[in-house]
Amino acid sequence: MRKNILVGQSGGPTAVINASLYGVITEGKAHPEHIDTVYGMVNGIEGFLSGRCMDLSQELTAEDLLLLKQTPAAYLGSCRYKLPENLDAPVYGLLFEKFTSLGIGACLYIGGNDSMDTVDKLSRCARLRHENVSFIGVPKTIDNDLPVTDHTPGYGSAAKYVASTVREICLDASVYQQPAVTIVELMGRHAGWVTAASVLARKHPGDNPLLIYMPEVPFDMEQFLENVKNALDQQPNVVVCVSEGIRDKHGRFICEYANEASLDTFGHKMLTGSAKLLESYVRNRFHVKVRSVELNVNQRCSSLLASAADVHEAVLSGRTAVQQMLGGATGCMVTCSRRHTPSYELEYGLTDVCNVCNKEKGFPVDWITQKGTDIGPQFLEYALPLIAGEPERIMELGLPKYLSRSRKTPA
């Protein structure tokens, strides 16, 4: 019996989240004997509840799909909507009524930790209600903090962007002979994977960035200032990379030294300003030129520095979700693991979504060296395959051509 499938995107976008959507759509269209229509939630579960949905099978042409694969951000739009813990809440009945009205047999949700919480609740609710709808999570997050899977689509491109941009910042910082410190703030609330990628910017041992700080190691302000002093003694221009989520031994975020962080809808503290705060400490202590740089959303939306490996793996994650759904899977998230072969190869599988939702995978502490200020060689072996290659791009007037849902035409 043919079924319709529904796909949504949730949480913070990445450079390759639409490549996963491309994988879902193309794999769905490759099985006309089992799948009739691929529908897309507009703005995730929240938008779907408001009746916002589109027919991806009909509305996107072959050219649109190629553009979709290279378009950053979430084509369908995103949300940060938390379903109630109580599975008897009225919203679940409304959702399953909508699933029934569209003939949905499977729902695929592309997202991170909190999105997997949505997959978990919906799959458990379906069992309680005896509904014949399967739910599968497709991983995405630049934070690379989902457990079980080796890495997440989105991380490789973010790491490539960070490594490339920090290298350019280091070169820029080196042009003057006067002492100066540049502090680069990178994303990572609880896990330092994105910040760790800054080590890839070095051209040789002892090159900038000289100091790297991540949430996995408690941050001590006085020790930080001592480290900066020692670095300035080595060379006049020092680049420091810090995670937004660095915190002291008491668990207090460094950014909170200036003011209290606000909370998002999931109760996570919205962090920013660690580099700016550290800039003032360094300037007041050493009276040298100090600049802070916050890369912000560029880390997750730069498709021009996307990794070909990341794009390819994002597509495969979307395709795997459809294939596993056709095999009867539900309540699961797509995973990847490295095969034990001389070359870099991945094997795709599934894990129960409860192994992932509301959990985080930190950066391995044994990969952090120099008393919490540097990254060991294990990370290089791990990360280099993830940033490999340049994807083919469709260009127009010297710029990449993207797909815009608001206009329903290439933009």
245 in a labelled binding site = no
Closest CA to 35 of 329, 295, 274, 323: 323
CA 166 to chain centre: 19
C-alpha distance from residue 195 to each of 9, 103, 142, 146, 369 (Å): 25, 44, 11, 16, 14
CA distance linking residue 144 with residue 152, whole number of Å: 5
43 in a labelled binding site = no
Is 143 noted as a catalytic residue in this protein? yes
DSSP single-letter state for residue 232: H
64 in a labelled binding site = no
26 in a labelled binding site = no
Tokens of 384: 């280099």
Residue 55: in which H helix or E strand, if any?
Answer: strand 53-55
Q: What are phi and psi of 205, to 5 degrees?
A: -55, 135
**308 burial via Cβ count (<10 Å: 0-12, 13-18, 19+):** middle
Residue 59: in which H helix or E strand, if any?
Answer: helix 56-59
105 in a labelled binding site = no
44 in a labelled binding site = no
Q: Of residues 117, 143, 145, 310, which has the active-site annotation?
A: 143
267 in a labelled binding site = no
**How many H helices and E strands in the chain?**
13, 19
DSSP 3-state of 331: coil
Q: Is the bond leading into 209 cis (omega within 30 degrees of zero)?
A: yes
141 in a labelled binding site = yes
Closest CA to 185 of 157, 207, 160, 215: 215
DSSP 3-state of 36: strand
24: Cβ contacts below 8 Å, ≥ 6 apart: 5, 7, 38, 108, 110, 138, 318, 319, 321, 322
375 in a labelled binding site = no
Closest CA to 311 of 193, 145, 155, 116: 155
Q: Which residues are annotated as a binding site for substrate?
A: 141-143, 187-189, 244
Q: Which residues are annotated as a binding site for diphosphate?
A: 12
Which residues are marked as active site?
143
Q: Which residues are annotated as a binding site?
A: 12, 113, 141-143, 187-189, 244
Q: Which residues are annotated as a binding site for Mg(2+)?
A: 113
